[in-house]
Amino acid sequence: MGHSPFTPGVAAGRLPSEAMTRNFGDLHPPLDAHEATVAADRCYFCHDAPCMTACPTSIDIPLFIRQIATGTPEAAAKTIFDQNILGGMCARVCPTETLCEEVCVREVAEGKPVEIGRLQRYATDKLMAKNSHPFSRAAATGKRVAVVGAGPAGLSCAHRLAMKGHDVVIFDARTKPGGLNEYGIASYKSVDDFAQKEVDWLLQIGGIEVRQGQALGNGLSLDALVAEYDAVFLGIGLAGVNALRAEGEEVENVADAVDFIAELRQARDLGALPVGRNVVVIGGGMTAVDAAVQSKLLGAENVTIVYRRGQDRMAASGYEQDLAASKGVRIMTHAMPVKVIGNGAVREVEFEYTEDGPGGLTGTGERFTLPADQLFRAIGQKLDGAPEGLALDGGKIKVSGAGRTSVAKVWAGGDCATGGDDLTVTAVAEGRDAAEDIHASLS
């Protein structure tokens, strides 16, 4: 069983393996055929469906739900994949509660929306289980496109370009493709190695080569890519992490939440992952919630999310905040870290209360401390090493139209570009739309 739950400091094996397995099981178990039919029957099939408007990829939601209701889930999946080739992952990780389901007529009238996300998973899982690809390539065009980044934007762009008959080479810095879907999402949202299975399935379209371990500035130059390929798409995400700007943050056991989540996603043995007894997470977005909840599931006793503004300003949805609370995570608001205290390793964190005034966020002067043997930063990510010559806007690659950058033959999309909003589904839409624009320009 390893350590007892009362091991001080950061330790592995806080819980027995059976508890780990249970804790990291599927957050929303899949619907069976009967449940899917019942769920689909609740849809009004609205003519001017607000759910479609709320979906960043504009999936024809009433049509795919009608197809499930009439017993043709594979046709429903094709409807989904026409707009969103990563519809399987989006069904698992999309904050549907603030997108399609929030505007569902059933939600507005009854407070219980049609379960669009779970129905989408039901349909896409059915088709993907057949391990056959629903799309085929057009005749070869002889054009070659470089895609930098194998995350949702890059994969979506590459698939659409391959469908149009272009040859695509994807370059990615990591050892496995998938980007955020593989490295950045809580384990309980994507079980059974789904992210890799989805990439393998997507690549069945053909015409796409993936080269791992290559990044801009490290073996790759934008100028060389522009010279060698007919077009370039950048879906490089946000690899840099904002600094805490608190005294003493360089001590041991202070880490970036994204690194913790990535390590957890790649771990074969969760019992070997060390976690603190008292964990503090700084931030208010999905990453903060994912890191906090998973710390709790690994056996941390006390986990606290601390956010500098009010709870209504948190980027994490109400659903995600409720999920954190249901797992025993405490959320504290209106406080900012000022000092990390510890001799060698973090022992406690000093905070100052904040208030929002006309001049923005200010400290009140009143301070308090929280015990912490592990501290995670989840305070936003930034572009790391944008290629020279690209115009930036607000720290992201400036794009116009469907992802056109300031450099000829170069497009960008996803989190690295203006318009990206830290959602898989938005990245998919931007990659797809850039592919259509690249295709039009190559034709």
Tell me whether residue 329 is in a domain. Answer: yes
Question: Which uninterrupted H or E stretch holds 434?
Answer: helix 424-442
Tell me whether residue 298 is in a domain. Answer: yes
Q: Which of 377, 401, 432 is the last residue in one of the domains?
A: 377
Question: Is the distance from CB of 90 to CB of 428 less than 8 angstroms?
Answer: yes
Tell me whether residue 209 is in a domain. Answer: yes
Identify the domain containing residue 105 by its residue range: 33-129
Same domain, 246 and 233: no
Cα 374 to Cα 10, 270, 308, 327, distances in angstroms: 7, 17, 19, 18
Same domain, 249 and 373: yes
Output the domain CATH number for residue 424. 3.50.50.60
Q: Which has the closest alpha carbon to 227: 170, 142, 173, 146?
A: 146
Sign of CA dihedral 78, 83, 89, 95: negative
Report which DSSP code applies to 21: H
Q: Which of 100, 129, 158 is the last residue in one of the domains?
A: 129
How many Cβ atoms sit within 10 Å of the Cβ of residue 20? 19
Quickly list DSSP for 162-220.
HHTT-EEEEEESSSSS-THHHHSS-GGGS-TTHHHHHHHHHGGGSSEEEEES-EETBEE
Q: Which of 81, 99, 129 is the last residue in one of the domains?
A: 129
Output the domain CATH number for residue 66. 1.10.1060.10
pLDDT at residue number 3:
40
Tens-of-pLDDT digits for all 443 residues of the chain?
Answer: 344 444 568 999 999 999 999 999 998 889 999 999 999 999 999 999 999 999 999 999 999 999 999 999 999 999 999 999 999 999 999 999 999 999 999 998 999 999 999 999 999 999 999 988 999 999 999 999 999 999 999 999 999 999 999 999 999 999 999 999 999 999 999 999 999 999 999 999 999 999 999 999 888 999 999 999 999 999 999 988 888 999 999 999 999 999 999 999 999 999 999 999 999 999 999 999 999 999 999 999 999 999 999 999 999 999 999 999 999 999 999 999 999 999 999 999 999 999 998 888 999 999 999 999 999 999 999 998 778 889 999 999 999 999 999 999 999 999 999 987 889 999 999 999 999 999 999 99
169: its two tokens = 């080479």
- List, in sequence order, every residue forming a beta bridge with 304; answer none if it has no partner: 280, 330
pLDDT at residue number 9:
86
Spatial separation of the C-alpha atoms in residues 353 and 340, rounded to whole Å: 15
409: its two tokens = 């033959």
Q: What is the pTM of this model?
A: 0.94
Number of domains in the chain: 3
Spatial separation of the C-alpha atoms in residues 206 and 187, rounded to whole Å: 29
Same domain, 291 and 366: yes
13: its two tokens = 């094996």
Tell me whether residue 324 is in a domain. Answer: yes
Rounded to the nearest angstrom, the gap between the alpha carbon of residue 344 and the centroid of all alpha carbons in its chain is: 33
Environment class of 201 (CB within 10 Å of its CB; exposed 0-12, middle 13-18, buried 19+): buried
Spatial separation of the C-alpha atoms in residues 144 and 195, rounded to whole Å: 26
Spatial separation of the C-alpha atoms in residues 319 and 91, rounded to whole Å: 15
Same domain, 185 and 200: yes
